[in-house]
Chains A and B, each alone.
Chain A
Amino acid sequence: MAERLAFTAKISLGLAMSGIIYAMFLVVPQYVGLGEAGRIIIVHVPTAWVTSAAFALSAVFSIVYLRTRSALHDASAVAAAEIGTLFCIFATVTGSIFAEVVWGTFWNWDPRETSILVLLLVYAAYFALRSSVDDIARKRRLAAVYNIFACVTMPFLLFVAPRVADSTLHPNCAFLQGSKCEGISLDLNGAKIGQLGDVVVELKSVETTGELTQARVEVRMPGLTQNAELTPSLDASGKPADRPEFPGQSFRMVLIEANPQAGTVRVNMQAPGTGLLSNQRTLWVFLASNLTFGFLALWLYRIRATILHVSALVETQEAH
């Protein structure tokens, strides 16, 4: 009975994975500004999630190991760390490809790129430590200690991350320095100058022509000799239509709301890719992909943990 259940689970996992790959290329629509490259998030984000989950699991097993001193818990910690490393490499490579296509650089020292690199280094060190201690009990103990110790430093990456790069290209308003998620309001008859990050923006005009409501915004930023003028616009349904790029950067200016009669607008800066999940089809494929990759990791973990459990038991017996 259990065997048949496992078989069914395996087959459905395979089918789900094929479904995700099919949907990634054929169901998810192209995203304005990202083109075909946007599809990679269907793989990239779930692998990144699985990575963090696997490493957290590994640290938990290390704590349990130090309490119980059971070889099986140590083997579970190793299996989780191995799966985490595998998915960490997936996430890094897919992210890097996406970054090259869309942002024009494989590596940007973006906060999340830095943290995932540190994760990779930590677990490389974890495996290096394991391979250089001969005594089995001592190896397990020292590796568990290192795993927990490394886990304590992780939160500091979150504090440090925003300091590393002046800007992040990841689509997440919380990480955009100086940019508030709600953007900035400008008024032709009042405060028509404002600041987005280190960019000074000045509203020149806002008017409706045909279906489009267009604002003319003058942009002054460090490193730019001439002032640039951007014209973001809204379509008839109040959704952003044209999102011009800030000169020399990959960020875009987006018009969130505009009232031509009152002469007021609200603008914000966006990294390319923001709002990707507001499309229903993309959202559902994305959620399904998270689930499938989660189960895939769980399945891989089960296989690896079983093998390691057996070899841990053999090792322990030989040591006796």
Chain B
Amino acid sequence: MSNKLLWRATKAVFVREMRSELRSRQALNAVALFAVCSIVAVSLGLGPLNRSAELPLIHAALLWIVLLFAAFTALSRVFVVEEEQRTAAALRLAAPPHAVYLGKLLFNLVLLSALTVLIALLAIVLLRMQVKAPSIFAVMLAAGALGLVSGTTLIAAIIARSSSRSALFAVLSFPLLIPMLVTAVRGTALALAGMGWDRCLAPVQTLLAYAVALFITSLFLFATVWED
């Protein structure tokens, strides 16, 4: 298939996802509330923290734990819904596998980006997280979100076809996300502490390399998962 056709099909899948989400706002409502609840729970549990050398690391770790679990609740929906509403077969006929994967990946990326912005803002307000290098912090979150999405979208497709869906998603994704998670936490802590690019470039590079590697592997493997 030519690139142009693939791109058009991808766009169609993405627009379809966006439209059905905007109509029902199911994912957005559930996940946004989940994010608010977990940040509030963390802030209440900790109370105001004293400034110390380790505070950026603590904040970064909490931020990414909340993001991780929000992602676990949000990102599997794109494929699980197809199986629940029995629309997978129709989608299989309507669009080539690569377009389905890319469309859903883009949708997940948009969803997670919105979620990341929300959680980061909540953390700044409620947790009193101080961001000393805002631009690097934003880049780090974006690179981390890319890694999170490229690592979990294929898993979402896998678990949609199994019997115990929601539990399995976290179980399958978590070990694969550990390298990315650890890098993101360390990198975000550096950004919160106000370190420059000389220290922060390496984590961003690792995150991007992780995202690209998993994205390409997913492209190779997705057709196998999607076939009936």
One of B96-104, B115-123, B162-170 at the interface:
B162-170
- Residue from B159, B164, B210, B227 in contact with A153 in the complex, judged by beta carbons closer than 8 Å: B210
A133 to B163 alpha-carbon distance, docked (Å):
6
Mark each residue of chain A from 127 to 157: 1 if its CB lies under 8 Å from any CB of chain B, else 0.
Answer: 0110011100010011011101110110011
Report the minimal beta-carbon distance from A249 to chain B, rounded to whole angstroms. 19
Whether A138 and B154, one on each chain, are in contact in the complex, defined by CB atoms closer than 8 angstroms, is no
- Cα A149 to Cα B154 in complex, Å, equals 9
Listed stretches A7-15, A28-36, A158-166; interface member: A158-166
Q: Which of A128, A129, A148, A153 contacts B221 (CB 8 A)?
A: A148
A-chain residues with CB within 8 Å of residue B168 when the two chains form the complex: 128-129, 132
On whether the beta carbons of A153 and B179 are closer than 8 Å, the reply is yes
Task: Give B151-189 as 1s and 0s: 1 = Cβ < 8 Å from A's Cβ atoms.
Answer: 100110011011110001001101110111011001000
B214 within 8 A of A: yes
Number of chain B interface residues as a range? 20 to 34
B225 within 8 A of A: yes
Give the Cβ gap from A114 to chain B, nearest Cβ, in Å: 8
Cα-based distance from A141 to B222 in the complex (angstroms): 11
Do the beta carbons of B182 and A153 come within 8 Å of each other? no
Contact A142 B158 (CB under 8 A): yes
Residue contact B179 to A132, C-beta cutoff 8 Å: no
B83 → chain A, closest Cβ, in Å? 12
Which of A121, A122, A125, A156 lies at the interface centre, i.e. has the most chain B CB atoms within 10 A of its CB?
A156
Task: Give, as a whole number of angstroms, the nearest-CB distance from B19 to chain A.
Answer: 29
In the complex formed, the residue of B with least CB distance to A151 is B217
On whether the beta carbons of B176 and A149 are closer than 8 Å, the reply is yes
| A148 engages B217 (CB within 8 Å) | yes
Task: Report yes or no: B162 in contact with A163, Cβ–Cβ below 8 A.
Answer: no
Q: CB within 8 Å of B: which residues of A?
A: 66, 114, 118, 121-122, 124-125, 128-129, 132-134, 138, 141-142, 144-146, 148-150, 152-153, 156-157, 159-160, 163-164
